[in-house]
Amino acid sequence: MNSSFNKLLTFKTLINVLMIIVFSANFLFIERVQALSDSKQIVLDAWALVNEGFYDPEKFNEIQWKKIRQKTLQKQIETSEEAYLAIEEMLRPLEDPYTRILRPKDYELLKSSNFGSEINGVGLQLGEDDDDKKIKVISTLGGSPAEEAGIVSGDFIETVDGISSEELGLANTASKLRGESGTKVLVEISSKSGAIREVDLERRSVDLRPVRTKRLREDSHTIGYLRITQFSESVPKKIEEALQELKEKDVEGLILDLRNNSGGLVSSGIAVADSFLSDRPVVETKNRNGIKDSIISQKETSYDGPMVTLVNKGTASASEILAGSLQDNDRAILMGEQTYGKGLIQSLKSLGEDSGIAITVASYITPKGNNIQGEGITPDKLLDIPDASEYGSSDDKWVKNAELFLESLLEKEEVSSENSELSSEEIKIEVAKD
């Protein structure tokens, strides 16, 4: 009896164990299927976001966009990294380097550069050359390892740690240059002349200091100097504070320095235009439906005195919007050299697991209808003298040229004002005689 009972108990125990094993296996299988579903869902979400927002829907027919989705989803995609690689391959036929997947690290870094005041890396702002699609340096951040190494706007990134930038693409090249402070990265650089050199750069925290200002004293006039290094969320408020500070110092003219400002938040650049333009068009955007939307500045301004804006080949995107609006509205004289020519607007969207995707959603043109993309903005006065190594310093000849121009402008205004006062006095005398 006890033997039979023990056998029955052992059998029941075995059955329970087997059931636990079966259910556990099923549970693990369900989890695995769910994980696979989540990874493919990231791909589907990315496809849908691009399908809904990309600025050139005609491109979809050209590359058979729906078939690309089908082929992509037929692949084995079980991990997040496989999903990111699949999205990169899916986006490649669009031939738009600015529409790209952002892995969690890159997504966080991009958000921190737009909303924060510092970023870890080498201080290079990159773009893709329109002619040969090579990765091109738009600008270097002031005080960064890249600037100290002599890397300049117009240089090309050939390799990063031995991997070709052509193989990496724009997003991955930028990603490999970022990293923890103190770590190093080996970069092969080529210049426009074809000279190639290797540079060993040590990553560190780069203080973006987006707004810098000072007063420039001359013989008879006081000029304000205002430099914007990039357009982050905090910039419009900082500009207001800087202009108020310059007003208190009784500046008579202003030099706005946008050299090597590769952009940032377009909304920030447009908001800064409000500080200088009163109820004037800032920029026109053209969306995927061909609809143009004109953005008008507010009526109240923070500064309405004479201005010179300095631009160079590192001036891009949001800074080109600001420079173009000031030029087209005859608000400021542009001095320097042809700007970079990035006239596309990206929207940043979140994907699963803290990743994101940047999508080109519109193009923009200046108030007078000039297309910025691939063209850039031509200054009113071209400067053929070497650009300064330290912007705003006493050795900065571009700033000196801007100062001289503002002084002559202020002197003309003084003469005109004196003549106007003399004319008023003559009229009073004539009236008295009568």
Residues 184 and 249 grouped into a single domain: no
Q: Which of 328, 355, 363, 396 is catalytic?
A: 328
Residues 179 and 239 grouped into a single domain: no
Is the pLDDT at 20 greater than 60? The verdict is no
Q: Which of 165, 232, 275, 317 is catalytic?
A: 317
What CATH number corresponds to the domain at position 166?
Answer: 2.30.42.10
Q: List the structure tokens of 267.
A: 């909304």
Q: Quote the percentage of the chain above a pLDDT of 90.
A: 52
Asked if 83 and 91 count as a contact pair (C-beta separation under 8 A), the reply is no
Q: List the structure tokens of 14.
A: 């075995």
Residues 254 and 316 grouped into a single domain: yes
Residues 269 and 299 grouped into a single domain: yes
- Going by C-alpha positions, the residue among 95, 47, 94 that lies closest to residue 351 is 47
pLDDT bracket for residue 22 (50, 70, 90): very low
Across the chain, mean pLDDT equals: 84
**Dihedral over Cα of 138, 164, 132, 192: its sign:** positive
Of 431 and 361, the structure prediction assigns the larger pLDDT to 361
Mean pLDDT, residues 224-230 = 93
Of 382 and 263, the structure prediction assigns the larger pLDDT to 382
Residues 345 and 263 grouped into a single domain: yes
In DSSP terms, which residues pair with 227 in a beta bridge?
212, 257
Q: Which of 238, 342, 355, 363 is catalytic?
A: 342
Given this model, what pLDDT does residue 421 score?
55
Query: For the segment 324-350, what is each residue's pLDDT rounded down to a tens digit?
Result: 999 999 999 999 999 989 898 888 899
Asked if 179 and 428 count as a contact pair (C-beta separation under 8 A), the reply is no
Gap between the Cα atoms of 272 and 237, Å rounded: 9
pLDDT bracket for residue 15 (50, 70, 90): very low
Residues 250 and 355 grouped into a single domain: yes
Tally of structural domains, the chain: 3
Asked if 313 and 339 count as a contact pair (C-beta separation under 8 A), the reply is yes
Residues 221 and 191 grouped into a single domain: no
Asked if 372 and 319 count as a contact pair (C-beta separation under 8 A), the reply is no
Asked if 310 and 335 count as a contact pair (C-beta separation under 8 A), the reply is yes
* Residue type at position 244: Q
Given this model, what pLDDT does residue 291 score?
78
Instruction: Say if 64 falls within a structural domain.
Output: yes
Asked if 158 and 137 count as a contact pair (C-beta separation under 8 A), the reply is no
Is position 342 annotated as part of the catalytic site? yes
Instruction: Say if 423 falls within a structural domain.
Output: no
Residues present in the chain in total: 434
Structural domain range at position 185: 118-206
How many C-beta atoms lie closer than 10 Å to residue 232's C-beta? Answer: 21
Gap between the Cα atoms of 54 and 43, Å rounded: 16
What CATH number corresponds to the domain at position 307?
Answer: 3.90.226.10
Is position 328 annotated as part of the catalytic site? yes
Query: For the segment 130-189, what is each residue's pLDDT rounded down to a tens digit?
Result: 677 789 888 787 778 998 899 988 899 999 999 999 888 877 888 888 888 889 999 999
Rg of the chain in Å (alpha carbons):
29
Residues 148 and 182 grouped into a single domain: yes
CA 257, distance to chain mean position in Å, is: 17
Residues 350 and 280 grouped into a single domain: yes
Residues 267 and 349 grouped into a single domain: yes
Please give, one letter per residue, the 3-state secondary structure of 164-225.
Answer: EHHHHHHHHHHHHHCCCCCCEEEEEEECCCCCEEEEEEECEEEECCCEEEEEEECCCCEEEE
Of 264 and 5, the structure prediction assigns the larger pLDDT to 264
**Which among 121-125, 276-280, 350-354 has the top mean pLDDT?**
276-280
Instruction: Say if 403 falls within a structural domain.
Output: yes
Q: Is 182 left (phi over 0), alpha (psi -120 to 50) or beta?
A: left
Residues 334 and 257 grouped into a single domain: yes
Residues 249 and 271 grouped into a single domain: yes
Given this model, what pLDDT does residue 427 score?
53
- HSE, side-chain direction, 13 A CA sphere, residue 282: 24
Given this model, what pLDDT does residue 243 score?
96
Instruction: Say if 247 falls within a structural domain.
Output: yes
